[in-house]
Structure 1
Amino acid sequence: MTLSICTPLLESLPLGQLNDTRVWLKMEALQPSGSFKIRGIGYACEQHFSRGARRFISSSGGNAGLAVAYAGRRLGVPVIVVVPETTPERGRHLLQCEGAEVIVHGKMWSEANELALSLLTGEDAFLHPFDDPLLWEGHASMIDEVVAAGVRPDAVVLSVGGGGLLAGVDEGLRRNGLADVPIYAAETEGMASYAAALDAGGPTEVPVLTGVATSLGACQVCLRAFRLASERTVVPVQVTDGEAVNACLTFLDDNRVLIEPACGAALALLYGKKIPADSHKNFLVIVCGGSTATIDSLKGFTG
C-alpha cells in the first residue's frame, strides 16, 4: 500500500511569464492529507507497521500530525496526537475526523512532544515531523515523479521549516543525477530558523518565532538540513508575512488551489521576482500545501 499519490506537475504560465522562464509546480497540496508530509510520514508508517508497530504517536497539530492520522486510518492502526494549547480548533477537528485521539498538553510544541514521548511503549512508533531519514526517503519520491514526467529542473524553490522537505528534495535530486541543481529555501522573517543555523555555523534554537507561517515554526532545523548547505548550493531567502499571504491569494486566483502561508513563502520568491531567473530555464516549485488553511484565515492575515 502506498499512502501518498502521484501529484500533478503543472506549468505555471503566469509565473513563467512574470520571470521570463519556465516554472513547474509540483502540486503537493493535492495529497490526501493536504500536504507533502504524507510522502515521508506515510512511508515511515508503512515501514513501522511492517516491523510490528501497532500504534502511532505524534506531537504535531499541523500537517505532520494530520499525515500520521491519515496513515493510521488507512493502515487500521490507532493514532495518538499530542498537541499544544496553541493548536487551532480546526486542526484538532481535522485530526479527530481522521480518527486520531487528540491530547492537548502544554503551551509549546516541546511540552506536547515531551508528553508524546512519555506515552511510548514497545509496540508504538513515534513519528517525528521532520528529523528522520525515513521521512526524507519518502519525500524524495516527488522528485522521482518530476523526472519521470520528463522535466529536469535546473533550480528548485521550496519552503524550509524544520528541514525535512529540504532533505528529502536533496535526496531525490541526488538519486536522479541532479546533485548540482541549486535549491532556493524560503522562510518568513519571523520563522527564519534555517538562516539562523547558517549564521551560527550549526543548528541553533531560535527563542521566539513570530508571524503567520506557523508550519515553518521549528525552533531549530535538523542537522541534515544544515549540512546540506556545505554539500550543494542552498540559497536561503526570507520574505515578509505579507508577501507570503499575498502569494497564497494570487496562487488561488491563478490555480484555484488553496495553500497556507508557509507554502506561500516559496511562491513569493517568484511572484516577487526575488531570484535572478535569467540563469535558470526550468524552475521547479514544491507547492507543499497546508491542511488547515482557509479563505477566512488568509483574509484575516491581510486584514
Structure 2
Amino acid sequence: MPLHIETPLLRSAPLSRANNREVWLKLENLQPPGSFKIRGIGHACTVWKNKGATKFVSSSGGNAGLAVAYAGKEMGVPVTVVVPETTTKRAIHFLKQEGAEVIVHGKSWYEANALAETLIEEGVAFIHPFDDPLLWEGHASMIDEVAKSGLTPDAVVLAVGGGGLLAGVAEGMQRNDWANVPIIAVETVGAGSLNAAISAGSPVEINITQTVATSLCARKVAHAAFEWTQQRPVISRLVSDQAALSACDQFLFDHRMLVEPACGAALAIAYESSPVLEHYQRVLVIVCGGVTADIEQIRQWKREAK
C-alpha cells in the first residue's frame, strides 16, 4: 500500500467565479503529513527499505522532512532530519511528533544538507527533499489521479522551490498525453531560481532575498526541472510575498483550509486573476499544502510584507 492517499479534485466556486473560467484544485494539502511531498518521498522510502535500509536521513526546513518522518514511522524505520536555524518551531514540533530525531544546523538548507550527507553510512538511506528521480516518479501519481477523473485542463498552475513538484507533474503529464498542456510555474520574487535558470539558459545559483515562502528557497533549481522547460511549455511567473500571503488568508476563508505561503504563491495566480490565465478556460491548481506556518504567523507576515 502506498503511504499517500488519493486526494480530492475540487472545482472551486469562488475562484471560478472570480476568473470567469473553471478553476480546479488538486488538494494535496490533505495528504497525511500535510503536503504533496509524501507521494515521492513515500515511494523513495519504500524503495530504499526494500533494498535493506535501516534508517532514513534527510535535510529539510519542514515539509519534506515531515514526509520522511511520517514514512519512517509508518514503516518502523528511525529517521533523522537536519533542519536549518530558520525552521519554525511549529515545523520542529511536527517533526518530533512523528518520532524523528531533529538536528538544527546552519543558517540555510544548504548548510543543513551538508551535515545530513555526513550522516550517510552502511544501511542509511539519504532522502533528498526534491532532487531525486524516485521523488518525481512518485509525485507524478497526482496527475494519474486527475487524468483518471476525466479532467484534462488547459493549463496547470504549481509552485516551484527546488523543482521536485514541477519535475513530477511534468512526468505525470507526459505519460498521460498532456505534453502540450502548459505548466504555469510560480515562485515568489525573493526565490526565483527557476525563473533565473530560464533567463540564463541553464540552472544558475541565485542569491535568495527576503521571502516568507521559505519552502521555495532553493538557490539552484534541480536540473531535471529546468530540462522540462526546454521540452514542453512552461511559463514562469513571479508573485510578491503579499500576494502569496493574501492568497493563503483568502483560501482559508473560501475553502476552510490553511496552507503555507509557498502554496499561496500558486494560489495567488488565481486570486489575482493573473493575465497569464486569459487563454485557458479550464485551469488546474496544485494545492501543494504545507504545515510550517499557522494563521497568526501568516497574518503577521502579511502586515509586515511590502
With normalisation by structure 2, the TM-score equals: 0.97
Deviation string 1:37-79 (CA, Å, 9 cap, x unpaired) is 0000011001111111110000113110000000000000000
Q: Distance in 2 between matches of 1:200 and 1:117?
A: 29
Matches within 5 A, 1:269-288: 269-288=269-288
Q: Distance in 1 between matches of 2:37 and 2:275?
A: 26
Matches within 5 A, 1:127-206: 127-206=127-206
Matches within 5 A, 1:261-276: 261-276=261-276
Q: Give the SS at the match of 2:226.
A: helix
Q: State the AA in 1 paired with 2:88.
A: P
Q: Distance in 2 between matches of 1:275 and 1:3?
A: 38
Greater mean alpha carbon deviation, residues 269-278 or residues 29-38: 269-278
Partner of 2:79: 79
Q: Give the SS at the match of 1:166.
A: helix
- 2:248 maps to 1:248: yes
Matches within 5 A, 1:28-43: 28-43=28-43
Q: Distance in 1 between matches of 2:61 and 2:215?
A: 10
Q: State the AA in 1 paired with 2:44.
A: A
- 2:218 maps to 1:218: yes
Partner of 2:101: 101
Q: Distance in 1 between matches of 2:187 and 2:278?
A: 23
Aligned residues: 303
Unaligned runs of 5+ in 2: none
Q: Distance in 2 between matches of 1:5 and 1:247?
A: 25
Deviation, 1:215, is 0.6
Deviation, 1:278, is 4.2
Identical-pair percentage: 58
Deviation, 1:190, is 0.7
Inter-CA distance 297–150: structure 2 relative to 1 (3 Å threshold): same
Contact 1:21 1:277 in 2 (8 A): no
Q: Distance in 1 between matches of 2:217 and 2:262?
A: 9
Contact 1:35 1:290 in 2 (8 A): yes
Contact 1:20 1:278 in 2 (8 A): no
Contact 1:29 1:35 in 2 (8 A): yes
Inter-CA distance 256–109: structure 2 relative to 1 (3 Å threshold): same
Contact 2:90 2:293 in 1 (8 A): no
- 2:295 maps to 1:299: no
Deviation, 1:277, is 3.6
Q: State the AA in 2 paired with 1:111.
A: E
Q: State the AA in 2 paired with 1:194.
A: L
Partner of 2:232: 232
Kindly report the root-mean-square deviation, in angstroms, between the aligned alpha carbons of the 2 structures: 1.0
Partner of 2:27: 27
Contact 1:203 1:220 in 2 (8 A): yes
Q: Distance in 2 between matches of 1:180 and 1:250?
A: 31
Q: Distance in 1 between matches of 2:25 and 2:208?
A: 32
Q: Distance in 1 between matches of 2:229 and 2:105?
A: 35
Deviation string 1:212-271 (CA, Å, 9 cap, x unpaired) is 111101111000111111111100011111000001111111100000111011111111
Deviation string 1:265-299 (CA, Å, 9 cap, x unpaired) is 11111111113444322111000001212111111
Q: Give the SS at the match of 1:99.
A: coil
Q: Give the SS at the match of 1:203.
A: coil
With normalisation by structure 1, the TM-score equals: 0.98
Q: Give the SS at the match of 2:125.
A: strand
Q: Distance in 2 between matches of 1:286 and 1:70?
A: 21
Q: Distance in 2 between matches of 1:271 and 1:24?
A: 13
Contact 1:20 1:277 in 2 (8 A): no
Deviation string 1:4-51 (CA, Å, 9 cap, x unpaired) is 000010001111111111111000001001100000001100111111
Q: Distance in 2 between matches of 1:256 and 1:278?
A: 27
Q: State the AA in 1 paired with 2:251.
A: F
Structure 1 residue ranges (4+ consecutive) displaced by more than 3 angstroms after TM superposition: 275-278
Q: Distance in 2 between matches of 1:83 and 1:168?
A: 24
